[in-house]
């Protein structure tokens, strides 16, 4: 039980501190630092999408006998369309 609490507390504190920095520094941040942080956040989100969504989708499609890249490609295209709306 203690390991679960610690496992939940660490990401919670990291997220809380990160969001607090945005509110405390939103007017004082250097534009170059802001671009650096936004680029880092975008890279983390892309990596999370690849490893948590696209690769498991390809693996599941292979197990079901479907063309492996098709569900991932359809989901990717639908996601782009949703964002453009």
Q: Where are the domains of the chain?
A: 2-84
Q: How long a stretch of residues is the chain?
A: 85
Q: Residue 69 has what pLDDT?
A: 92
| Cα atoms in the Cβ-side hemisphere of radius 13 Å centred on 14 | 6
Using one digit for the tens of pLDDT, what is the confidence trace for 12-38?
Answer: 998 898 888 878 876 778 889 889 988
DSSP 65: T
Q: What is the Cα–Cα distance from 50 to 43, expressed in whole angstroms?
A: 11
Using one digit for the tens of pLDDT, what is the confidence trace for 67-84?
Answer: 999 998 998 899 999 999
Q: Please count the other Cβ atoms lying within 10 Å of the Cβ belonging to residue 1.
A: 5
Q: Residue 9 has what pLDDT?
A: 92
Using one digit for the tens of pLDDT, what is the confidence trace for 39-65?
Answer: 998 999 899 988 998 899 999 999 999
Q: Is the pLDDT of residue 1 over 80?
A: no
Q: Residue 3 has what pLDDT?
A: 86
């Amino acid at each position: 039980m203690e390991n679960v609490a610690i496992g939940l507390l660490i990401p919670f504190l990291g997220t809380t501190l990160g969001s607090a920095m945005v509110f405390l520094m939103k007017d004082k941040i250097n534009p170059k630092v802001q671009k650096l942080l936004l680029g880092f956040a975008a890279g983390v989100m892309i990596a999370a999408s690849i490893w948590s969504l696209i690769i498991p989708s390809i693996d599941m499609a292979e197990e079901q006998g479907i063309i492996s890249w098709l569900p991932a490609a359809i989901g990717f295209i639908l996601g782009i369309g949703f964002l453009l709306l």
